[in-house]
Amino acid sequence: VINKLPDLGDNAGIISAVQKVVDQILKIYPAAADWSISFKRPTESGVYLAAGASTSQNYNTAVGVGYLTIAPQSKDVKLEFNSPLPKNCTLTYEEAQKFDFSGKATQNGQTVSANIKTKYVGVTADGKWVSSKGNEPKDALREPGNYVEKIYTVGGNYVAAPIVRCYTVKKAETEIRFDSIDLEVPYDGQPHGITAGVYHGDERIAEADIIYMSSSGYKSAEEPTDVGMYQVMASYKGDSKYACVDAKYTTFDILARPITIKTMDMAIEYGDDVPDVDYYIYDMNGELADPAIVSGADFPSLDFSIEGQDEGKHLAASTTPYAINVSGLDNANFQVTYEGGSLTVNPRKINI
């Protein structure tokens, strides 16, 4: 304990007297060994043990012990929040990130140095109870939800009644934007659709939910394959941070694919059986179609016939070719152009 005393020079009598006081205190309260000792008058509020000693060559050493209490100031001291809330006590998400929470103590309009504490408690937008305490910006509750902020003093030279306020942080606003994409595509047997993003400002924070609907009764989140005009609904239900937004609509068309079916010219002699008709399917670019896109299997009722042919009878030889007709071209996914060939029946050569 003596090592905690300030340097008093050669005045050993005072040191000895103070040591006696300290020894008596330690007998009663051993934890006092951790106290600090000062010969300066205290200025901070608190309770102090004061010991006095005097020495004189003519008198015995005199020692006195007592308590000194310095009360904190409370008259005209009040707490104030750093920043006032909007009229409806509601902050947007962006406002909450920059808002100056916590508070200060004032006395007669002047800011004073008080030991201020701030505590937050509330419920987040997704229903979780949360709490926090501290005077730093990071300690404030700034996520969407409903909260209570309380500031109060603990110890220090100034005390004031605590103050409380409630505030709400709204979810961040969002917007749905359809991605730039061709809204008309030709049928190719593959599913097609469009996408949309959910944006907060210029930041894409999520993908929108897409639903396709058509007058034929199609309604699904799966991209459609068949020809039709589809109404597309993009929606976003929101989360704990971002607000839901009204659905957005557009239309998307899968168009019938233009194709051409061609039959080849044929020639036989009178009396011969008519051979099977050969045909080819050409795609919209004029080239032979990829079977993965279109083939005869897409026209299960496809059938060819020869103009004027009666069952069980041979076609008469003629200088005018017989047209090759077609049926069974019905398929809503294709816009079919038929270019039919012809059958020439030549006279049969015989020897007499």
Cα 116–118–121 angle (5° rounding)? 160
* Spatial contact of 232 and 249, defined as CB atoms under 8 Å apart: yes
Q: What is the pLDDT of residue 2?
A: 46
Checking if the pLDDT of 97 tops 60, the result is yes
* Spatial contact of 90 and 82, defined as CB atoms under 8 Å apart: no
Closest among 323, 324, 328, 274 to 296, alpha carbons compared? 328
Three-state secondary-structure class, residue 183? coil
Backbone angles phi, psi at 191, to 5 degrees: -70, 145
Cα 262–265–268 angle (5° rounding)? 145
pLDDT band with cut points at 50, 70 and 90 for residue 26: confident
Q: What is the pLDDT of residue 11?
A: 57
What mean pLDDT is predicted for residues 137-157? 94
What mean pLDDT is predicted for residues 313-331? 92
Backbone angles phi, psi at 17, to 5 degrees: -65, -45
Locate the DSSP E strands across 72-215.
77-81, 90-91, 103-107, 110-112, 116-124, 129-133, 145-153, 163-169, 175-178, 184-186, 196-200, 203-207, 209-213
CA distance linking residue 143 with residue 241, whole number of Å: 7
Cα 344–345–347 angle (5° rounding)? 135
CA distance linking residue 226 with residue 201, whole number of Å: 36
Checking if the pLDDT of 57 tops 70, the result is no
Which residues does 284 contact at the CB level (< 8 Å), separation at least 6?
Answer: 186, 257, 258, 259
Q: What value does the mean pLDDT of the chain take?
A: 89
Checking if the pLDDT of 19 tops 90, the result is no
Q: Which two tokens stand for residue 151?
A: 């500031």
CA distance linking residue 156 with residue 149, whole number of Å: 21
- First CA to last CA across the chain, in angstroms? 151
Q: Is 209 exposed, middle or buried (0-12, 13-18, 19+ CB in 10 A)?
A: middle
HSE-up (13 A, CA, CB side) for residue 13: 12
Backbone angles phi, psi at 331, to 5 degrees: -165, 115
Three-state secondary-structure class, residue 31? helix
pLDDT band with cut points at 50, 70 and 90 for residue 186: very high
Question: For 274, which DSSP code?
Answer: P
Reported as a single tens digit per residue, the pLDDT across 259-318 is: 999 999 999 999 998 889 999 999 999 999 999 999 999 999 999 999 988 776 888 998
Checking if the pLDDT of 14 tops 70, the result is no
Distance of CA 50 to the CA centre of its chain: 63
* Spatial contact of 45 and 71, defined as CB atoms under 8 Å apart: yes
Which carries the bigger pLDDT value, residue 273 or residue 168? Answer: 168
Q: What is the pLDDT of residue 1?
A: 42
CA distance linking residue 278 with residue 285, whole number of Å: 21
Reported as a single tens digit per residue, the pLDDT across 72-83 is: 888 999 999 999
Which residues does 240 contact at the CB level (< 8 Å), separation at least 6?
Answer: 124, 125, 126, 143, 144, 171
What mean pLDDT is predicted for residues 324-337? 95
